[in-house]
Amino acid sequence: MSCQRIADHLQETGVPCAYAIEGHAAPRGKRARRTLGIWRPARVRGILSNSCYKGLHEYGRRTKNLHRKTIAREVPAIVSAETWQAAQAVLRSNRIVSKRNSKIYYILRGMIRCGACGLTYSGGGDHYACNGRQLARQLRGARCGSMYG
């Protein structure tokens, strides 16, 4: 499954994401408040690609300092190394066949607004589509009913 489908499944089955479990206050900004508690594909991908789940914590991995060495240490594994490697293979496979990696440039992306839901349009395949049609974009409770998408 793709990260999008996993996020949709977790949202549909009512699995709370980290913010909902830990009772975090809403961060600043309109977008942060609207997406708080919603499973997003990027959040799923972050979990799947985190090496801590296979039992390896790497301190200093996200630094911008190129000369800083990372410190690796073992931690209790949540999944086996084989399962984690299989997830990485699926992520690589999904990235190769992803429509987002196409060479088409959509010049009006994010500039066109949907008349039905108010969200922006983005390019998909050979046409523009309303972002409210995607399941992960259900910020207002239901998919957009626009006929374009």
Domain boundaries, given as residue ranges, for the chain: 3-101, 102-149
pLDDT confidence of residue 76: 93
Percent pLDDT > 70 in the chain is: 68
pTM of structure:
0.55
State how far the Cα of 149 lies from the Cα of 144, in Å rounded to an integer: 9
Residue 42 makes CB contacts below 8 A (sequence gap 6+) with 3
- Residue the block writes with tokens 């969200």: 119
Average confidence (pLDDT) over 1-14: 86
Q: Token pair of 60, please?
A: 């200093």
Average confidence (pLDDT) over 44-62: 87
In 3D space, the residue among 55, 47, 50 whose CA is nearest the CA of residue 78 turns out to be 55
Look at 19-33, 37-51, 66-80 and tell me which has the smallest mean pLDDT.
19-33
User: Cα 74 to chain center, whole Å?
Assistant: 27
pLDDT tens for 54-83 read 999 988 877 788 788 888 999 999 999 999
